[in-house]
Amino acid sequence: AANIMTGQDLHQIFKERYAGMGHLTFLNSLEQCLADQTGKEYLERFLIQSFCAELVEFEKYYKQYKGALSDTERYIISGIIVNNFLTSNAKNELNIKNIEIKHKVLKKIDKIQNNKGSSKKNKNNEYPSDLFDNIHNWVIQQIETNSWPKFKQTISSIAYHQKNGHNSRNGQGKH
């Protein structure tokens, strides 16, 4: 089903690119994987095929928010994050069990919005760069706990089979 959704099969993608990689150091830690372009690409594809696309999408907007240079940019991106990930029945709603994390962010945004009407220019009117950090930490924890071990196992297994000339899809070796 994941192959149908993404139009790509992780085994096939990896098989085609494995020969040129020469290393799997990105499997040493989630942090290393996210810093490694190839590792990050495979992890993102794995998450999408594992029906965790909302985590990948949130991370993309989170990085945009963190890189925003102005309060106006942060305002625009925060609206996208709230509408896509934090509101009930959102397209990519994050299934955060600890609703307090989500409520704190939404409460802070409401406070900023209420202060925007004030004629005074102060820090309470601005979107802080760390506004979504707790949600980002939750996303990373979800990946680390639920997906990272499976991802490492999958990539290691595919690499082993590619290295040893086995067809990892049906268990047949070279003849």
In this prediction, residue 117 carries a pLDDT of 63
Least confident of 31-35, 60-64, 165-169: 165-169
The neighbour count for residue 131, using CB atoms within 10 Å, is 22
Q: Is the pLDDT of residue 4 over 80?
A: no
Distance of CA 169 to the CA centre of its chain: 27
Q: Please give the pLDDT value at position 12.
A: 57
Residue 85 has phi, psi (to 5 degrees) of: -130, -20
Percent of the chain surpassing pLDDT 70: 74
Each residue's pLDDT tens digit, 14-37 = 555 544 455 688 889 999 998 888
pLDDT tens digits along 88-138: 888 899 989 888 999 999 999 999 888 766 555 566 568 999 999 999 999
Angle in degrees, 0-180, between the axes of helices 133-142 and 99-116, rounded to the nearest 10: 160
pLDDT confidence of residue 119: 53
Half-sphere exposure of 15 (CA within 13 A, CB side): 13
pLDDT at 160 over 90: no
pLDDT at 167 over 80: no
Token pair recorded at residue 34: 């996210």
Residue 139, pLDDT score: 95
